[in-house]
Structure 1
Amino acid sequence: MNRIEPLTQEAFRPFGDVIEANEALENFDINYGYTRRFHNLADINVDAEFGKPIVSLFRSNPLPAPIKIERLERHPLSSQAFMPLGASPYLVVVAPAGELVEANIRVFLAQPGQGVNYFAGTWHHFCLALQADSLFLVIDRAGPGSNCDELLLDTPFTLDISGLV
């Protein structure tokens, strides 16, 4: 069974960016000191094959527990960023870009206020809401070309979330 890890900048670096208001990242005051800008938090990459950035909302429903992970997807032409708009944690299941090696799948627990930006080609599961329907702001690519590959896992696995919800 895959261990669920806390989502941190360092642990997630091979897969993409963690989007969060983290004082350790570049930040500064704007708007006459009334606003703190956490700057340049994700490398949005959507321009391959004449792609353009789009902003969408995804509403994800929790899956029944224990959560069965049977497939992953990737977007070879672009990054894909997810920022939760609610106050519930969610799970992030990822594997490095390239040929999918199931032994390299990792699972992270993202807290409210933590988003992720998957690098182009990073394998990932769709959003895994935990406690309630969850709304995510999504920045990804629209344009020509095939930008979604999906693979069934040779060895599906389940995630015990009993201590998380």
Structure 2
Amino acid sequence: MKTLKIEPLTKEAFAPFGDVIESEGRDYFMINNGSTRRYHKLGDVQLDEQGQGIINIFRADTLEYPLPIKMLERHPFGSQSFIPLFGHEFLLVVAPVGDGSLNIDPSTVRAFRASARQGVNYHSGVWHHPIMALRDGDEFLVVDRSGPGNNCDEFYFDESVQLTVELD
């Protein structure tokens, strides 16, 4: 069994999977007569030609840890962003896009802990675990794609692959 080391979420470490949405250390410009800082273009919403961008709220409960990672999902036609509304940390488990097949190399799976002030934008096709809230009833603003086609592929690891996430 391999226990995934939970890494701090940084822009650089998460770059192969998407964007970290945060204001810390980011450029901004002033708007609204100088009363507001605009941290511009912190992530790119990716949509295929048939999709529309939609905004949702997901309410999630805590999963049981240590958590066996049995599956990951991806959205081939658009990106998906998660921004915590209640300011709580949450976990992420991801794997790169790969060669486009419905296959994941277990050695490429990584785990991150997002701070209470960070959100993420998974790029199109990036494999990720469903939301991993650390508090029951936590809510996330989700920017997603709506439109024709199946925009959610799921991959289930063979029983011989045993990946686990443990809280510190």
TM-score range normalised by the length of the shorter chain? over 0.9
1:21 deviates by 1.0
Alignment of 1:1-165 (within 5 A): 1-22=3-24, 24-46=25-47, 48-98=48-98, 99-154=103-158, 155-161=161-167, 163=168
CA distance in 2, matches of 1:87, 1:137: 11
CA distance in 1, matches of 2:27, 2:76: 28
CA distance in 1, matches of 2:80, 2:115: 18
Matched residue of 1:144: which SS?
Answer: coil
CA distance in 2, matches of 1:94, 1:132: 22
CA distance in 1, matches of 2:96, 2:166: 23
What is the root-mean-square deviation of aligned Cα atoms in Å?
1.2
Per mean C-alpha deviation after superposition, the further-off stretch among 111-120 and 149-158 is: 149-158
- 1:17–1:41 contact (8 Å) kept in structure 2: yes
Find runs of 4+ consecutive structure 1 residues off by over 4 angstroms.
Answer: none
CA distance in 1, matches of 2:60, 2:117: 16
Matched residue of 1:141: which SS?
Answer: strand
CA distance in 2, matches of 1:87, 1:25: 19
CA distance in 2, matches of 1:105, 1:38: 30
CA distance in 1, matches of 2:28, 2:157: 40
Please list every run of 5 or more consecutive structure 1 residues that lacks an aligned counterpart in the other structure.
Answer: none
Matched residue of 1:103: which SS?
Answer: helix
CA distance in 2, matches of 1:83, 1:70: 24
CA distance in 2, matches of 1:115, 1:9: 11
CA distance in 1, matches of 2:116, 2:88: 5
1:113 deviates by 1.6
CA distance in 2, matches of 1:64, 1:77: 31
Matched residue of 2:162: which SS?
Answer: strand
